[in-house]
Amino acid sequence: MTSSCMAFSLCPLLTQGAIDMLEHHGDEEQRELYLRPMVAAQWTGTMNLTEPQAGSDVGAVRTRAVPAPDGTWRITGQKIFITYGEHDMTDNIVHLVLARVPDAPAGTKGISCFIVPSSCPAASATTCGASASSTRWGSTRRRPAPWSTPTPSGS
Ligand SMILES: Cc1cc2nc3c(=O)[nH]c(=O)nc-3n(C[C@H](O)[C@H](O)[C@H](O)COP(=O)(O)OP(=O)(O)OC[C@H]3O[C@@H](n4cnc5c(N)ncnc54)[C@H](O)[C@@H]3O)c2cc1C
Protein backbone atom coordinates (compact mmCIF):
# COMPACT_ATOMS: atom_id res chain seq x y z
CA MET A 1 0.00 0.00 0.00
CA THR A 2 2.82 2.40 0.86
CA SER A 3 4.50 1.99 -2.52
CA SER A 4 1.23 2.72 -4.34
CA CYS A 5 0.12 5.64 -2.15
CA MET A 6 2.21 6.64 0.81
CA ALA A 7 -0.22 9.37 1.88
CA PHE A 8 -3.12 6.94 2.08
CA SER A 9 -1.06 4.29 3.85
CA LEU A 10 -0.53 6.64 6.78
CA CYS A 11 -4.17 6.21 7.77
CA PRO A 12 -3.99 2.45 8.54
CA LEU A 13 -0.49 2.97 9.94
CA LEU A 14 -1.73 5.47 12.50
CA THR A 15 -4.77 3.35 13.23
CA GLN A 16 -2.50 0.38 13.94
CA GLY A 17 -0.50 2.55 16.30
CA ALA A 18 -3.64 3.59 18.16
CA ILE A 19 -4.78 -0.05 18.30
CA ASP A 20 -1.45 -1.07 19.82
CA MET A 21 -1.67 1.69 22.40
CA LEU A 22 -5.21 0.75 23.40
CA GLU A 23 -4.35 -2.90 23.49
CA HIS A 24 -1.39 -2.38 25.81
CA HIS A 25 -2.57 0.51 27.96
CA GLY A 26 -6.36 0.69 27.72
CA ASP A 27 -8.49 -0.90 30.40
CA GLU A 28 -10.88 -3.74 29.61
CA GLU A 29 -13.83 -1.42 29.01
CA GLN A 30 -11.86 0.77 26.62
CA ARG A 31 -10.51 -2.21 24.70
CA GLU A 32 -13.98 -3.70 24.42
CA LEU A 33 -15.42 -0.43 23.15
CA TYR A 34 -12.78 0.70 20.68
CA LEU A 35 -10.68 -2.20 19.44
CA ARG A 36 -13.18 -4.22 17.42
CA PRO A 37 -14.28 -1.39 15.06
CA MET A 38 -10.72 -0.15 14.72
CA VAL A 39 -9.35 -3.59 13.85
CA ALA A 40 -12.23 -4.00 11.38
CA ALA A 41 -11.23 -0.67 9.77
CA GLN A 42 -14.66 0.80 10.55
CA TRP A 43 -12.99 3.49 12.66
CA THR A 44 -9.54 5.02 12.27
CA GLY A 45 -7.11 6.36 14.86
CA THR A 46 -4.77 9.31 15.25
CA MET A 47 -2.02 10.48 17.56
CA ASN A 48 -2.21 14.09 18.76
CA LEU A 49 1.12 15.22 20.19
CA THR A 50 2.25 18.28 18.29
CA GLU A 51 1.34 21.86 19.28
CA PRO A 52 2.68 25.16 17.91
CA GLN A 53 5.29 25.36 20.69
CA ALA A 54 5.76 21.61 21.13
CA GLY A 55 7.19 19.63 18.23
CA SER A 56 10.46 17.86 18.89
CA ASP A 57 10.15 19.10 22.46
CA VAL A 58 7.09 17.04 23.42
CA GLY A 59 7.54 18.02 27.06
CA ALA A 60 6.38 21.54 26.14
CA VAL A 61 2.81 20.30 25.55
CA ARG A 62 0.33 22.79 27.08
CA THR A 63 -3.05 21.22 26.28
CA ARG A 64 -4.92 20.87 29.55
CA ALA A 65 -7.31 18.20 30.77
CA VAL A 66 -9.49 19.26 33.68
CA PRO A 67 -11.88 16.89 35.44
CA ALA A 68 -15.49 18.13 35.44
CA PRO A 69 -17.97 17.55 38.29
CA ASP A 70 -19.91 15.07 36.15
CA GLY A 71 -16.86 12.85 35.81
CA THR A 72 -15.96 13.84 32.24
CA TRP A 73 -12.75 15.61 31.28
CA ARG A 74 -12.64 19.00 29.60
CA ILE A 75 -9.71 19.22 27.22
CA THR A 76 -8.54 22.56 25.84
CA GLY A 77 -5.54 23.36 23.71
CA GLN A 78 -4.26 23.53 20.16
CA LYS A 79 -2.91 20.59 18.19
CA ILE A 80 -1.35 20.95 14.75
CA PHE A 81 -0.16 18.64 11.95
CA ILE A 82 -2.51 15.81 12.96
CA THR A 83 -2.37 13.27 10.16
CA TYR A 84 -5.86 12.00 9.24
CA GLY A 85 -7.23 14.15 12.07
CA GLU A 86 -10.37 14.70 9.97
CA HIS A 87 -11.85 12.76 7.05
CA ASP A 88 -15.13 11.17 6.00
CA MET A 89 -13.95 7.66 5.19
CA THR A 90 -15.26 6.24 8.47
CA ASP A 91 -17.99 7.03 11.00
CA ASN A 92 -15.61 7.67 13.82
CA ILE A 93 -12.04 8.82 14.40
CA VAL A 94 -10.43 7.83 17.68
CA HIS A 95 -7.98 10.54 18.65
CA LEU A 96 -5.32 9.78 21.25
CA VAL A 97 -4.57 13.20 22.70
CA LEU A 98 -1.66 14.19 24.91
CA ALA A 99 -2.61 16.65 27.64
CA ARG A 100 -1.71 17.73 31.16
CA VAL A 101 -3.94 17.26 34.17
CA PRO A 102 -3.93 20.07 36.78
CA ASP A 103 -1.38 18.55 39.17
CA ALA A 104 0.98 17.33 36.46
CA PRO A 105 4.73 17.90 36.81
CA ALA A 106 6.55 19.80 34.07
CA GLY A 107 8.07 18.04 31.09
CA THR A 108 7.28 14.65 29.61
CA LYS A 109 6.60 13.07 33.01
CA GLY A 110 3.50 15.22 33.36
CA ILE A 111 1.85 14.17 30.12
CA SER A 112 -1.29 12.03 30.12
CA CYS A 113 -3.09 10.46 27.17
CA PHE A 114 -6.84 10.75 26.55
CA ILE A 115 -9.15 8.94 24.17
CA VAL A 116 -11.15 11.56 22.29
CA PRO A 117 -13.53 9.96 19.77
CA SER A 118 -14.95 12.29 17.14
CA SER A 119 -18.31 10.60 17.80
CA CYS A 120 -19.16 8.91 21.04
CA PRO A 121 -19.78 5.21 20.39
CA ALA A 122 -23.52 4.44 20.59
CA ALA A 123 -23.03 1.54 22.96
CA SER A 124 -21.16 3.71 25.38
CA ALA A 125 -23.89 5.65 27.14
CA THR A 126 -22.26 4.86 30.45
CA THR A 127 -18.90 3.47 29.50
CA CYS A 128 -17.43 5.70 26.80
CA GLY A 129 -15.30 7.63 29.18
CA ALA A 130 -13.91 5.01 31.47
CA SER A 131 -10.85 6.64 32.94
CA ALA A 132 -7.96 4.40 33.51
CA SER A 133 -6.04 3.85 36.63
CA SER A 134 -2.36 4.44 36.91
CA THR A 135 -1.66 5.32 33.31
CA ARG A 136 -4.09 8.20 33.64
CA TRP A 137 -5.90 7.15 30.53
CA GLY A 138 -9.24 8.75 30.24
CA SER A 139 -11.75 9.90 27.72
CA THR A 140 -13.60 13.02 27.00
CA ARG A 141 -16.18 14.18 24.57
CA ARG A 142 -15.36 16.44 21.69
CA ARG A 143 -18.97 17.31 21.03
CA PRO A 144 -22.03 17.02 23.27
CA ALA A 145 -23.17 13.43 23.54
CA PRO A 146 -25.43 11.57 26.00
CA TRP A 147 -22.77 9.88 27.97
CA SER A 148 -20.58 10.54 30.93
CA THR A 149 -17.38 9.30 32.44
CA PRO A 150 -16.74 7.88 35.87
CA THR A 151 -14.98 10.12 38.36
CA PRO A 152 -11.32 10.54 37.36
CA SER A 153 -9.05 8.25 39.30
CA GLY A 154 -6.66 11.08 40.18
CA SER A 155 -3.79 8.65 40.16
C1 LIG B 1 3.74 15.12 7.30
C2 LIG B 1 3.67 15.34 8.79
C3 LIG B 1 2.73 14.64 9.51
C4 LIG B 1 2.62 14.82 10.88
N5 LIG B 1 1.68 14.13 11.58
C6 LIG B 1 1.57 14.32 12.90
C7 LIG B 1 0.57 13.63 13.65
O8 LIG B 1 -0.19 12.82 13.14
N9 LIG B 1 0.47 13.89 14.98
C10 LIG B 1 1.29 14.76 15.60
O11 LIG B 1 1.15 14.94 16.81
N12 LIG B 1 2.24 15.44 14.93
C13 LIG B 1 2.40 15.24 13.60
N14 LIG B 1 3.38 15.91 12.90
C15 LIG B 1 4.21 16.85 13.57
C16 LIG B 1 5.62 16.31 13.85
O17 LIG B 1 5.58 15.40 14.93
C18 LIG B 1 6.50 17.51 14.15
O19 LIG B 1 6.64 18.24 12.94
C20 LIG B 1 7.85 17.12 14.67
O21 LIG B 1 7.73 16.64 16.00
C22 LIG B 1 8.82 18.28 14.66
O23 LIG B 1 8.30 19.38 15.30
P24 LIG B 1 8.29 20.85 14.63
O25 LIG B 1 7.72 20.72 13.25
O26 LIG B 1 7.64 21.77 15.59
O27 LIG B 1 9.81 21.20 14.44
P28 LIG B 1 10.87 21.69 15.59
O29 LIG B 1 10.71 20.81 16.77
O30 LIG B 1 10.62 23.16 15.77
O31 LIG B 1 12.19 21.42 14.87
C32 LIG B 1 12.68 22.29 13.81
C33 LIG B 1 14.13 21.92 13.53
O34 LIG B 1 14.93 22.08 14.70
C35 LIG B 1 15.59 20.87 15.00
N36 LIG B 1 15.64 20.71 16.45
C37 LIG B 1 14.59 20.70 17.30
N38 LIG B 1 15.01 20.54 18.58
C39 LIG B 1 16.35 20.43 18.52
C40 LIG B 1 17.37 20.23 19.50
N41 LIG B 1 17.09 20.13 20.80
N42 LIG B 1 18.63 20.16 19.09
C43 LIG B 1 18.94 20.27 17.76
N44 LIG B 1 18.03 20.45 16.78
C45 LIG B 1 16.77 20.53 17.15
C46 LIG B 1 14.81 19.78 14.34
O47 LIG B 1 15.60 18.65 14.03
C48 LIG B 1 14.32 20.48 13.10
O49 LIG B 1 15.29 20.42 12.08
C50 LIG B 1 3.50 15.74 11.52
C51 LIG B 1 4.46 16.43 10.79
C52 LIG B 1 4.55 16.23 9.44
C53 LIG B 1 5.57 17.00 8.67
Number of structural domains (the chain) is 1
Q: What local confidence, expressed as pLDDT, does residue 123 receive?
A: 55
Q: Is the CB of 56 under 6 A from ligand 1?
A: yes
What range does the domain containing 102 cover? 6-139
Q: Is residue 94 part of a domain?
A: yes
Q: Is residue 155 part of a domain?
A: no
Q: Is residue 150 part of a domain?
A: no
Q: Is residue 97 part of a domain?
A: yes
Q: Each residue's pLDDT tens digit in the chain (155 positions)?
A: 999 999 999 999 999 999 999 999 999 999 999 999 999 999 999 999 999 999 999 999 999 999 989 877 899 999 999 999 999 999 999 999 999 999 999 999 999 999 999 998 765 543 444 333 223 444 444 333 333 333 344 43
CATH number at residue 32: 2.40.110.20
Q: Is residue 149 part of a domain?
A: no
Q: Is residue 151 part of a domain?
A: no
Between the CA of 82 and the centroid of ligand 1 the distance, in Å, is 12
Between the CA of 13 and the centroid of ligand 1 the distance, in Å, is 18
HEC string of 56-95 equals CCHHHCCCEEEECCCCCEEEECCCCCCCCCCCCCCCEEEE
* Number of the ligand 1 atom closest to the C-alpha atom of 79: 11
